[in-house]
Chain A
């Protein structure tokens, strides 16, 4: 496992490097001149020229990149062009928010998805299976702004159980934020649930057909023992990968859900940055999302290896 981890980390560094190149070059092609954007359209030519000089915009591109990347690694992620405050606290605050939402959503949809997937597999082609597959497919297909708005109108406005707006205070603790997190987490879970359930279902169906499951049944073991020790131990392996891929999506890709609830997550920060052409925000936010994706995939691979003896112990 040791050399494998080193190699994987090497790949992650390479990924981050390539991602930084792409992110940097894309931000160069955004329309408009940054100095112009910052100073507004009535700024004088001289002021703009001064600012360009100050921001290093006149340097050759590779110098600008090295400068930016070097600062980024040292922890200086620049100042927001709009608010003129350092980007790092903003991005990390949003990352924490996103992580809270992601954590809650995972807690909801992973166990539920696995249970539903296993039930569907066991009752294959019967009513429970058709119900579970059908409904979960519908949820996957349902856009988040629809499911989100429905949830708001019923659970928040109709029944008044949860707040409709989730724009939480940056200073509040997790417990204080919890009520605000529930509706967005449910919205996200509706989508994630379908993926997990379907993956679990197909994995479990494959394993149920395996000779060793038949062998286990003919050993006269209890149904529970066959299911847990022989079926699930093998059938949940592919699900691990889907869960880990979900983490990346939850942390960086929940733009719609965050918008619907006004939740201050990373996704919405990125959209905001793009709208305002706030380059440091876009750059730092994107880099964080890439890093989270890479690390969660690594975590999935490690976990998969730990659970699968064929990888854990060689011949």
Chain B
């Protein structure tokens, strides 16, 4: 194998799994090269084969997986022919890996420092003392606060962001030439994600390591990668320098993916997301011709006949589309604007929640039996929201800020500690068990994980029929008709009614869950991260579906998500929550325009926007959300606030400041001053994409 100056050279790689159905080529003829110091972003939805590709590259395939074609070489060393023993010597020394879930990827019963040190002892021949010093050096490198003490701690004592730093420190400890980062920020909050991405960027500038960065998030790729490869059903559809690919988008799939990502400067009233129709094909059901053909709007007869060749469409830029020239001509495809704007008239008040509090008694672990004085975990501490019909309230905030608890209190799944919940003028009991059926019918919930919220033993139709029978007293015939109608409303074929949940894809299951919620004909639907576990293209189609259904049914949504772009797209109003309190509330447009609360500002600047030209302000939050057991005095955000003004923030609770149209901010800094500090904010830069 020739050494072409590339660190990683994957040439025509095919990976095959031996399955009950015979051999399946999960990755087919993939070629990619990564130069020293380059971050190569590999993007793909679930089922695209990105994990298999990564595992094949490091020669860590499961026992039924095999490289059946092509080669993988690392700086001229052909990895595909090495013995397992030789590969073990390369693992950890010449190539390392940063794993997806830092909580799971660190041994819970070994000290952090030792987990870094053991690598350097094995591969660099360091002594115990030297390896300990090296571990501290690495922890310093990843800007770990107080590395000495962190080295002596265990995984459960660190936050997710800190653990991800540890994984990065471990991966870099032996100065490898090549690092695979497998969704390294997916399990983190946006704010932490932004900090980690900055760190990776800085470190890679300093070292000359080649990085294969795997993710499903185009925004993350746009922020840190130099080049991108778009993987679809085991093949690369488009590859090239990040700017070229994001700007020219010379493959319909790339275009489709980018069209699915909600924008931060428009919402459902203005545009509907252009979801990609259909589903990613399974490796045993690949279509003839172009594998993207069945989902492509440019498809023509020739596409169905033969696999399109991968052609050069620009310097270092490849596309596997026969019709890329057509795409180049309409280089900036206009977003679909809505034909009829969604109604904007003020509906009647559906929900009025006043001063909701939820305190959990916290027994401090061991020994608390003797402790008379119990501390309280204040998950929600005095939040009020009001919602009108046909209205969506988005709730945003980092994990652990009380979003879900608030929703569960309103639904009655948690009994609120104090406050009033009024639904259409009727005061509700705190507990769902004490609420009359008519109320249960009016509040429905859609959960994050449809696998857990649908009974695996019951056909999808039965799940949808339950609320019809229990809450709406329909007879058999009515139920059957209504179920069919609901399946149609959520765009599921009628024969899905009899399918069991495991026969459905994640997006289809979530459609069933939405149909079930609508079966009760609710006035208020609480959506707790309903799209977070799904692929971008599925997310887009579900958001479109929710918007359509709301337009017809006038149902109000309480939409909880950590994905700010999604919230921006679907919500009329946005409430920003931190440590159990509201800090800003206002219309979705207003919340995204300065002046905004410093916390909102930090959240917004962390949004990964899939446009490499956008330069967001770098407002980064230190550390993680403090424990709700130990809420800081004064302004709860002062410990992490990048705009803290002084002592007043530590001692005095900030006042609410009102602006036009009900937009309110809870901060000590006067609005004019905030506006001055924040300048034009996020929107002006994003506006580059806004006018097309």
> Which positions 218-243 of chain A face chain B at CB distance < 8 Å?
218-222, 225, 229-230, 233-234
Closest to A229 in B: B110
A125 CA / B106 CA spacing, docked (Å): 27
Pair B118/A221 contact, Cβ less than 8 Å: yes
How distant is the Cα of A315 from the Cα of B370 in the complex, in angstroms?
Answer: 20
> Assuming the A-B contacts A3-B367, A215-B99, A219-B96, are A234 and B107 also in contact, with contact meaning beta carbons closer than 8 angstroms in the complex?
yes
In the complex, chain B residues 94-122 whose Cβ is within 8 Å of any chain A Cβ: 96-97, 99-101, 104-110, 118-119, 122
The answer to the question of B92 belonging to the interface, with a C-beta cut-off of 8 Å to chain A, is yes
Q: Is the CB of A220 within 8 A of B105?
A: no
* CB nearest neighbor in B for A234: B109
- Beta-carbon contact of A221 and B92 below 8 Å: yes
Cα–Cα distance between A243 and B122 once the two chains are bound (Å): 34
Interface residues of B in 196-253 (CB under 8 A from A): none
A230 touches B60 (CB 8 A): no
Residues of B contacting A230 with CB < 8 Å?
A: 107, 110
State the Cβ distance, B300 to closest chain A Cβ, in Å: 45
| Contact of A308 with B by CB under 8 A | yes
Tell me if A45 counts as interface (CB < 8 A to partner B): no
- Of the listed stretches B83-91, B301-309, B596-604, chain A binds B83-91
The answer to whether A69 has its CB under 8 Å from any CB of chain B is no
The number of inter-chain residue pairs (CB within 8 angstroms) is 91
Return chain B residues, CB-CB under 8 Å to A233: 107, 109-110
Interface assignment of B123: CB less than 8 Å from any CB of chain A: yes
Evaluate whether A219 and B370 lie within 8 angstroms (CB atoms) in the complex, with A211-B101, A315-B157 already known.
no
A:168-221 near B, CB below 8 Å: 210-212, 214-221
Question: Once bound together, how far apart are the Cα atoms of A212 and B99, in whole Å?
Answer: 9
Does B92 lie within 8 Å of A220, measured CB to CB? Answer: yes
Is A96 at the interface (CB under 8 A from chain B)? no
From the candidates B89, B104, B170, name the one contacting A210 in the complex (CB within 8 A).
Answer: B104
- B154 at the A/B interface (Cβ < 8 Å)? yes
**Chain A residues near B107 (CB, 8 Å)?**
212, 215-216, 229-230, 233-234
Q: Cβ of B662 < 8 Å from any Cβ of A? A: no
Decide if the interface of chain A is mainly helix, strand, loop or mixed: helix
B369 interface residue per 8 A CB criterion: yes
Could you mark each residue 105-143 of chain B with 1 if its beta carbon is under 8 Å from any beta carbon of chain A, else 0? 111111000000011001100000000000000000000
With a cutoff of 8 Å between Cβ atoms, the chain A residues found around residue B119 in the complex are 219-221
Q: Is the CB of A211 within 8 A of B104?
A: yes
Are B366 and A3 in contact, with the CB atoms below 8 A?
Answer: yes
B45 to A: closest C-beta gap in Å: 22
Residue A307 CB within 8 A of the other chain: yes
B510 interfacial contact with A, CB 8 Å: no
Partner of B108, one of A218, A225, A309, A314: A309
Distance of B117 from chain A, by nearest CB (Å): 11
Contact: A212 with B157, CB < 8 Å? no
Residues in A whose Cβ lies below 8 Å from that of B91? 217-220
Please report the C-alpha to C-alpha distance between residue A219 and residue B116 in the assembled complex, in whole angstroms: 10
**Could you say which residues of chain B place their CB within 8 Å of the CB of A222?**
88, 122
Q: Is B22 an interface residue (CB 8 A)?
A: no
Verify if A4 is at the interface (C-beta below 8 Å from B).
yes
Selected from B60, B104, B108, B370, the residue in CB contact (under 8 A) with A217 is B60
Decide yes or no whether A310 CB sits under 8 A from chain B: yes
Known contacts A220-B93, A310-B154; A211/B105 CB under 8 A? yes
The answer to whether B154 touches A218, judged by C-beta atoms less than 8 angstroms apart, is no
- For A, the interface residue count at a CB cutoff of 8 angstroms equals 29
Bound-complex Cα distance A225 to B91 (A): 14
Once the chains bind, are A307 and B104 in contact (CB under 8 Å)?
no
**A46 within 8 Å of B by Cβ?**
no
Within A1-37, which residues are at the interface with B (CB < 8 Å)?
1-4, 7
Tally B residues with Cβ within 8 Å of A: 35
Give the contacts of A225-267 with B (CB-CB under 8 A).
Answer: 225, 229-230, 233-234
Taking the nearest CB of chain B, how far is it from the CB of A51, in angstroms?
Answer: 47
Q: How far is the CB of B235 from chain A (nearest CB, A)?
A: 26
Closest chain A residue, CB of each to CB of B153: A313
User: Once the chains bind, are B154 and A212 in contact (CB under 8 Å)?
Assistant: no
B473 shortest CB reach to chain A, Å: 47
Q: Tell me the bound Cα distance from A217 to B58 in angstroms.
A: 11
Q: Given that A3-B366, A211-B104, A225-B118 are known contacts, is A218 also in contact with B110, CB under 8 Å in the complex?
A: no
Contact with A along B74-90 (1 / 0, CB 8 A): 00000000000000111
The yes or no answer to B374 lying at the interface (CB within 8 A) is no
A229 to B108, CA, bound (A): 11
Instruction: Name the A residues within 8 Å of B154 (CB-CB).
Output: 309-310, 313
State the CA gap A4–B156 with chains docked (Å): 20
Residues of A within 8 A of B96 (CB): 218-219
Docked-complex contact B97 and A7, CB < 8 angstroms: no
* B267 CB, min distance to chain A CBs, angstroms: 38
Q: Is B365 engaged at the interface, CB distance under 8 Å to the other chain?
A: yes
A4 to B366, CA, bound (A): 6
From B173, which residue of chain A is reached at the shortest CB distance?
A219
Across-interface contacts of B58 in A (CB, < 8 A): 218
Q: Chain B's nearest CB lies how many Å from the CB of A7?
A: 6
Q: How far is the CB of B115 from chain A (nearest CB, A)?
A: 8
Q: Within the assembled complex, what's the spacing in Å between the Cα atoms of A216 and B116? A: 10
Cα separation A221 to B118 with both chains bound (whole Å): 8
Chain B residues in 8 Å Cβ range of A214: 60, 99, 105
B54 to chain A, nearest CB (A): 11
In the assembled complex, the Cα of A80 lies from the Cα of B642 at a distance in Å of 80
Residue pair A220, B88 in contact (C-beta under 8 Å): yes
Q: Is the CB of B97 within 8 A of A310?
A: no
Q: A212 touches which one: B108, B118, B123, B370 (CB < 8 A)?
A: B108
Given the interface pairs A3-B366, A220-B123, the reply to whether A310 lies near B108 with Cβ below 8 Å is yes
A233-B109, A233-B110, A309-B108 as given contacts; A7 in contact with B92, CB under 8 Å: no
Closest to A308 in B: B109
In the bound complex, what is the Cα–Cα distance between A315 and B630 (angstroms)?
14
Q: Which of A259-315 contact B (CB under 8 A)?
A: 307-310, 313-315
Given known pairs A219-B119, A308-B109, A310-B156, the reply for A212 and B104 (CB within 8 Å) is yes
Sorted nearest first, the 3 A-B pairs with minimum C-beta distance are: A220-B92, A3-B367, A220-B91
| Contacts beyond the supplied A3-B366, A211-B100, A215-B167: 11 A-B pairs with Cβ under 8 Å | A210-B104, A215-B99, A219-B118, A220-B88, A220-B90, A220-B122, A221-B119, A230-B107, A307-B109, A308-B109, A313-B157
Interchain residue pairs with CB less than 8 A apart (19): A1-B366, A2-B367, A3-B367, A212-B106, A215-B105, A215-B106, A215-B167, A218-B91, A219-B91, A220-B88, A220-B90, A220-B122, A221-B122, A225-B122, A233-B107, A309-B154, A310-B108, A310-B109, A313-B157
* Contacts from A to B (Cβ < 8 Å): 1-4, 7, 210-212, 214-222, 225, 229-230, 233-234, 307-310, 313-315
B residues at A contact (CB < 8 Å): 58, 60, 88-93, 96-97, 99-101, 104-110, 118-119, 122-123, 153-154, 156-157, 167, 170, 365-367, 369-370
